[in-house]
Structure 1
Amino acid sequence: MTSVAVCLVLGGSVLHAVWNTVVKQAPSGGTLFVWVYSTFSVTLLLPVVLFGAARGSTIDAVVVKAGVVSALLHTAYAITLQRAYTRADMNVVYPVARGMGPVLVVVFAAVALRQHLTIVEMAGVAVILGGAIVVASRRSGDRDLVTVEARRSLAGPVRGLLVGATIAGYTLWDDHAMKDLGVDALPYYTCTAVVQCVVLTVLCWRRRREAVVVVRHSWRPALLVAVLVPASYVAVLFALTMAPVALVAPLRSTSIVFGSIAGWLLLGEPAGRRRLLGAVVVVLGVGLLVVPSG
């Protein structure tokens, strides 16, 4: 796995953890907030589209078809994530989702796509996932890590698993689109964002008056998410052109560490010795992934 791909994925992981923290803090949550920041994101993409058109970049039928599928998967992800955050703590949903996503991808890649990993790479995957489990774990006495409500129910872990399944779905489709269909990252994401905005508009149109209230109270976090979501996503798309999805997906789970740090500094959640240990384990796993195979 090249150093450029590693930097792209790690950068995307940092941005991903930040925008998830913003989403969790947003005063107006739910599907309407997703619609608002998706609309902002499409608006901000207009200069990118014009720049790409000037350089001869086009959106053909293949890009459109791939973008439609991607949009549906990402819409399911965004709505599932937003609803999970309105019903459970981030420090439950986020680790489970980001940990289960790559596990499902690796299983699918090994079984269906027949992507072969070296022993060192497999060890790196195992170490990263092990570190993710350490970061997500807690002792029964750690009452400061989760709320009483989340601790008494399976709502957080179950919703985290659902989010993880959508992450695995769009990750595998992105890999197929970038490598098998040969689509360019920017036109592909542009089409995905536009179609996703259209789908959300159809779903939320009857609640447009409520959306005005969301814009009034949450336009700043929505604008920030609108910038960070495409930045983190496009970085990973470019990484997928340089490395196998079975390596990219587990490396993305480093966002669990960055998410823990963001929760600690921005949400006031304690880091704890276990989370620091988990961060070190994940970093060791990243080191194994970047070891030259030759």
Structure 2
Amino acid sequence: MPDRRFELVCEIEPPARPDLTRVRHQIGVLSPVADTFLIPDNHIGRATVSSVAVAHEVQTMGARGIACLNSRDRNLLGFRRDLLTAAAYGVDRFLFVYGDKPTAGGRTSELTVRAMIEETRGASEDPTFAGCQPFRVGVTSGLRPVPAWKSAADFVFVQVSYSVDALLRWRESVSLDVPVYAGVMVLASAGMARNLAAAIPDIDIPDQLVDNVARDRDAGVDAACAQVLAIRDSGAFDGVHLVPVSRYREVAARLERDL
């Protein structure tokens, strides 16, 4: 694989109220260790402040942002609005996802992730976007074969796993010529482990880790930070997509010491 600098992409929690104070605090705390921030879109099926707007806020604070956009909540016109807004704000990196199940209502979108990629690629030929930075588009993948249309994205985020060995086996099984980021999530509680197992059927969370977290809240932070370092040292990935959840202060302190 090409020799690239290892990149730490930290996910931040977008606000569900019209107040960016907590976002700014997360960025400030994590900036010493994070290279880039990922902003989810209508996180866990709840309405949140636009990921494009938050990515712009990230950039005004001197950091790099990736705006996540889900296909679940958009029709074509709404998606084109998002591209125009992003171009006006100077946001040029996206992660396209299907989207979590909404807490109310149903899926209304006519779009798929594949259609969003095709539409974004077409923007480079559209005079409306003349003079704007070209958009870079990422996709997500489970620990399974990657279809050709996803391989043509600009970067790939791999699903969260609690096994470095499983991530390495998957990486050896696929051929990708774009940056690939391994998913790492802090396990904050035993209850969170149960929720993750229900939401992601093929995720494997070690029983020992769950027991450790039940006894010591910092065990999840310790395990996630150790996993980040192990993935970096393996040389198999271009970076990590780290989800610190509410433990971002502890994660920042630990990684600032160890990275």
> In proportion to residue count, which structure has more helix?
1
| TM-score above 0.5, yes or no | no
Class of the TM-score when normalised by the shorter of the 2 chains: under 0.3
Question: Which gives a bigger RCO, structure 1 or 2 (Cα 8 Å, sep 6+)?
Answer: 1
Q: Please tell me whether Structure 1 or Structure 2 has the larger radius of gyration of its CA atoms.
A: 1
> In proportion to residue count, which structure has more strand?
2
- TM-score w.r.t. length of structure 2: 0.27
